[in-house]
Structure 1
């Protein structure tokens, strides 16, 4: 009987260890999958950041051109108003 109990206990311990190993393998596979998904998401975010940075640069360039055009229009309006005043004063 004691030999049967020892073998039975050893088999139970082996089964328990195999279940723990199986669970750990599953966790490691899931962690690897999660890491791969995180890397893919990071890659997409980096691509998005690059695209957004280009769009921002283009918008800033357009804004700068509009500001320059606004200053030029303002300068021309002032010149036209001064010319009109000079004509009216004569």
Structure 2
């Protein structure tokens, strides 16, 4: 082969090697982008699920707080009733005594 043809072949082989490397990098970048898009979608799904769970937890907390308030009110009423009964019993004993 002539020297010009050899040089042209070497340049062609080098260019093809660079092209293959570039294509490989591009394919890898596309694969990574696809992985990132998949990961982002999974994170968005998790966020949505967690938001629903948080809403449920807040609702349960409000119900629990309402129940606690109701129990506290009933306990105060019961304490008042017991104190009233004890005061009446003390008054009766004082009258008899």
Q: Same fold (TM over 0.5)?
A: yes
Q: 1:15 maps to which residue?
A: 13
Q: 2:70 maps to which residue?
A: 72
1:42 aligned onto 2:44: no
Q: Deviations over 1:13-42 (max 9, x none)?
A: 110011000110011011111111111111
Q: Which 4+ residue blocks in structure 1 deviate beyond 4 angstroms?
A: none
Q: 2:49 maps to which residue?
A: 51
Structure 2 unaligned blocks of 5 or more: 89-97
Structure 2 residue matching 1:83: 3-state secondary structure: helix
CA RMSD of aligned residues (A): 1.2
- Between the two proteins, the alignment pairs up a number of residues equal to 88
